[in-house]
Copies of this chain bind each other. A is one copy, B any other.
Amino acid sequence: MMFINDKRKTPMIKTLIPQTPENETLERSVFFISDGTAITAEVLGHAVLSQFPITLISYTLPFVTSKTRAEEVRDQINAIYQQTQIRPLVFYSIISDEVKSIITRSNGFCQDIVQTLVAPIQQEIGLEPQPELHRTHGLSKKNLGQYDARIAAIDYTLAHDDGISLRNLDQAHVIILGVSRCGKTPTSLYLAMQFGIQAANYPFTSDDMDNLQLPPALKPFQHKLFGLTISPERLAAIREERRENSRYASLRQCRIEIAEVEALFRKNKISYLNTTNYSVEEISTKIIDSLGLKRRMF
């Protein structure tokens, strides 16, 4: 149930907030439309469109479940076509045939992101699809236990962020090590959120650098340790945002810390990754791959 107070019951244009166009040539409007969160439509649509040298003006419209809402969306698509005389691209995922047909009869170039792959799979496995089985990013009795485990992983990860607690490390699936601002916290949270992994992380500070050693509390868990490192230049730039002109942010200090920590990783045979050119998604999946962790789906 969703209660929207009247003051905020905004007109249909509300959701029409275009994303900042990327700095390229040809402009094209694109809609990501779904009867659910539209996250799948966005992720796949971006994967497809990122292959073309075009500037996207994108609109994401989730929870399109009623005829009325579908008609509003159709009118938005048609309005853009009227203005530009170029068909908007439409990536959609909608179960109801009635709602779907309103969208597909718009002036957009419509692509059903899921059904395109359902037909060949149906033929291969010889079973009828039952589209109402469950929502992709939804919650049901069937997956509630798994969902609770995911929330527990987030709780665990927050309670073991930045070395706050070294208790219950036996319950960690991974313990991430590294200097301040090398990406430990976002990576730990992504591991928990996306994959239900209980990720602790532990920072090495400038005070540790004189005689850098692996803390005794971590030694029993060496098989779960994973190091992050980063280029001193990028680290200095990130730290400069936080504490301008500090010793902490100086290139010299960053170089010392990174050299010390990498030496420690090598000495203790801890797998490590240079995060300079990687996103949290990439860092997280590389850690999973390296430690052979279970990759759950939610």
Contacts and interface: CB of A to CB of B under 8 A. Distances in A.
Nearest to A37: B285
Interface in A7-27: 7-8, 10, 14-15, 17, 19, 22-23, 26
Contact of A5 (B3, B124, B139, B269): B269
A189 B19 CA distance: 21
Contacts of A273: 1-3
Chain A binding surface, main DSSP class: mixed
A252 interface: no
Contacts of A155: 185
A294 B19 contact: yes
- Interface size class of chain A, counting residues whose CB lies under 8 Å from the partner chain: 35 or more
A270 interface: yes
Given A3-B272, A111-B120, A116-B116, A137 B281 contact: yes
Interface stretch (A50-58, A165-173, A199-207, A253-261): A50-58
A217 B48 CA distance: 45
Given A43-B43, A190-B193, A297-B19, A282 B52 contact: no
A268 to B, nearest CB: 9
A239 to B, nearest CB: 13
Contacts of A148: 238, 241
A109 interface: yes
Given A44-B43, A271-B4, A125 B63 contact: no
Interface string A30-53: 000000111110111011111111
B297 A47 contact: no
Most B-side CB within 10 Å, residue of A10, A52, A62, A296: A52
Contact of A147 (B2, B8, B279): B279
B285 A89 contact: no
A279 B139 contact: yes
